[in-house]
Amino acid sequence: MILLLISIIIITLNEAENLETTINAARLAAELSTGKTIPIEIIVSDGGSTDSTLKIANKIADKVINAPKGRYKQLNIGAMESSGNILLFLHADSILPKGGLIQVYHKFKDPRVIGGGFTKVWKWSSNVKRSKLIDLLMYFKERFDNFVVKVTKMFPGDNAVFIRKKTYKQLGGFAPMWICEDFDFSLRLKKYSKNNVCSKSYKLEKNKLVYIDSPVKTSARRIEKYGFLRTFGTWFFIYYLWKLGVSQDNLRTRFKKYKRARKS
């Protein structure tokens, strides 16, 4: 039986506000009811933070990497430096559910499973006041998004995507993209799962992508700053322009005021 080691890769750029909470929650997500933990390592791939992110990371992470700035670069370098045979890509402002990594661990005991992700809810700052209308809109938006993810098995980056390392290598990692690198990666993973098979007990069986119905809590800070309509409208527009084949250079020019790096 192959021992499973889960490498949690967190990319950062000035995330001192969130990083400690995220890492502590990740360790709790690996804890069994007996008090023991499943094997994990936490890797922080930093893109040049100027706040106290690195100080925090060096204190509580298992490995800290000084990487070139850029999401796909930081993700790929973090994966390259990992020791695990399972990779989980976690945003620095996202909180894994208690026991979430145990669920991942058990999913991968099935050799047909090659990857997947979690359901997601938004986590608001305690000092932010919301109208009943916004709460209602967010309620339906969360449920619609999670339904789509569950049905399509297309996982955005803030759903804490996980994958077998050998599958990650076969996919070639994350493509060099300014934005939508998570959707591109998830799309290629889905295509791979359909077009390849695994061997189990001398039989060929289809690979599987799994959906864990325990929510990752991801920060709503961009929504808090820019508002519901502007935030989701911008994301929708970027996504569908990308789907239509608009180049990364064109997207960068069109959305030059969009602070991509801040939302890790």
CB 192 within 8 A of CB 171: yes
Contact between residue 92 and residue 57 where contact means Cβ atoms under 8 Å apart: no
Report domain extents, the chain: 6-254
Strands 86-91 and 113-123: unpaired
Nearest C-alpha neighbor of 260 from the set 189, 124, 157: 157
Alpha-helical regions (H) of the chain = 19-28, 53-60, 71-80, 100-107, 132-152, 165-171, 181-195, 221-226, 228-243, 248-254
For residue 200, the model assigns a pLDDT of: 54
pTM metric for this prediction: 0.92
* C-alpha distances in Å from residue 31, one per residue of 8, 26, 35, 224: 14, 9, 6, 32
**pLDDT tens for the 264 residues of the chain, in order:** 458 999 999 999 999 999 999 999 999 999 998 889 999 999 999 999 999 999 999 999 999 999 999 999 999 999 999 999 999 999 999 999 999 999 999 999 999 999 999 999 999 998 888 889 999 999 999 999 999 999 999 999 999 999 999 999 999 999 999 999 999 999 999 999 988 766 554 455 678 999 999 999 999 999 999 899 999 999 999 999 999 999 999 998 888 776 644 444
By the 8 A CB rule, do 228 and 39 touch?
no
The C-alpha atoms of residue 239 and residue 71 are separated, in whole angstroms, by: 17
Distance between CA atoms of residues 115 and 79, nearest Å? 15
102-105: which pairs have CB atoms within 8 A and are 24 or more residues apart?
Answer: 102/29, 102/30, 102/31, 102/32, 102/38, 103/212, 103/214, 104/6, 104/162, 104/212, 105/4, 105/6, 105/38
Output the pLDDT for position 261: 40
- Report residue 34: phi and psi, to 5°: -80, -10
Q: Would you state the pLDDT for residue 119?
A: 96
3-state secondary structure of 145: helix
pLDDT for residue 204 = 55
Q: Which CATH number fits domain 6-254: 3.40.50.2300, 3.40.630.30, 2.60.40.150, 3.90.550.10?
A: 3.90.550.10
Distance (Å, rounded) from C-alpha 134 to C-alpha 236? Answer: 18
| pLDDT computed for residue 75 by the predictor | 98
